[in-house]
Amino acid sequence: MSHATGVGYLKDGCLPHMWCPGCGNGIALASMLRAFEELGYKKNETVVVTGIGCWGKTDDYLLTNALHTTHGRALAFASGVKAYNPKLNVVVLMGDGDSVTIGGNHFIHAARRNIDVTAIVLNNYNYGMTGGQCSGTTPSERYTSTTVYGNPERGFDICALAEVAGANYVARGTVYHGWDLKEHMKEALGNKGFSMVEVVSPCPTHYGRNNSMKQGVEMLKWLKEKAVSKEKYAQLTDPEKEAYFVIGKMVDKNEPDFSTRYEQIRARALEGGAKR
């Protein structure tokens, strides 16, 4: 077992972090930085792109290159960075609001292009920074500050969306399953093409409080009980499945990424090859 800590990527004096007690962002950050360390990421060759939201504050703590962008647009900026300099390691940190609610269109097209970036999406089922409003992943019938009688909409399955849009690597983990989460991140970072890891994380301040889980430990117990493997999920009846979600690796393939395809077209143009 690796004993990597990832502390070499953190600014001095940045702890304790700013996130609420019971929030899972600290665990997710530790998992990501351990993955960086085990892969030997160099700080000057790594760009962490963030959007707006609790998870988007992560760049405040990092010694890597960082690009803090507007809400919902992190993947658009990251695609530009990677297209300009394909040698960089580009990692995009988004919440459920940033990625598939406000940023849903960018998410789909980044996966479709198979741009070689790694998206780490913190899903806490609500807009945690701005008051706990309903997001595109809030489960049906759940309570938020804007769905006080229950959510009438269905929530996105982020992994299914990434898969059908064309991502090369897709996995889901939770902050309860910390070591497994680090391994998913490590695999995603090492996979060429669009890679996405969804991290299901507690928000006891808002989502938990609104759904009878006021303490972080209650939400961690919920993650432990409700997150199951694909094999166990398949054994459940359809009504039972409503109360559980799958964790683990969903997609792992090696389709050519955007930069590879682009260079093929570019070479054809420079050689004066056939065009239509």
Closest CA to 80 of 267, 258, 263: 258
The residue extents of the domains of the chain are 15-270
- Residue 203 and residue 16: Cα distance in Å, rounded? 18
Asked if residue 78 lies in contact with residue 98, where contact means CB atoms within 8 angstroms, the answer is no
How many helices (H) does the chain have, and how many strands (E)? 11, 11
Average pLDDT for 157-176: 98
What is the residue-wise DSSP string for 175-200? SSSHHHHHHHHHHHHHSSS-EEEEEE
pLDDT for residue 6: 82
Average pLDDT for 14-23: 91
| Model pLDDT for residues 52-73, shown as the tens digit of each residue | 999 999 999 999 999 999 999 9
Using the predicted structure, report yes or no on whether residue 109 has a pLDDT greater than 60. yes
Higher-pLDDT residue of 153, 4: 153
Domain 15-270 sits in CATH 3.40.50.970: yes
CA angle 243, 165, 255 (to 5 degrees): 120
pLDDT for residue 146: 97
pLDDT for residue 29: 96
Phi, psi of 172 (to 5 degrees): -130, 135
The secondary structure of residue 88, as a DSSP letter, is S
Average pLDDT for 140-163: 96
pLDDT for residue 276: 63
Average pLDDT for 249-258: 97
User: How confident is the prediction for the chain on average, in pLDDT?
Assistant: 94
Q: What percent of the chain has pLDDT over 70?
A: 97
Average pLDDT for 155-180: 97
Using the predicted structure, report yes or no on whether residue 251 has a pLDDT greater than 80. yes
| Model pLDDT for residues 191-244, shown as the tens digit of each residue | 999 999 999 999 999 999 999 999 989 999 999 999 999 999 999 999 999 999
Peptide bond into 16 cis (omega under 30): yes
Average pLDDT for 19-38: 96
Using the predicted structure, report yes or no on whether residue 1 has a pLDDT greater than 90. no
Using the predicted structure, report yes or no on whether residue 272 has a pLDDT greater than 90. no
Using the predicted structure, report yes or no on whether residue 2 has a pLDDT greater than 80. no
- Residue 151 and residue 63: Cα distance in Å, rounded? 40
CA angle 169, 171, 172 (to 5 degrees): 160
Q: What is the pTM of this model?
A: 0.94
Using the predicted structure, report yes or no on whether residue 162 has a pLDDT greater than 80. yes
| Model pLDDT for residues 199-214, shown as the tens digit of each residue | 999 999 999 999 999 9
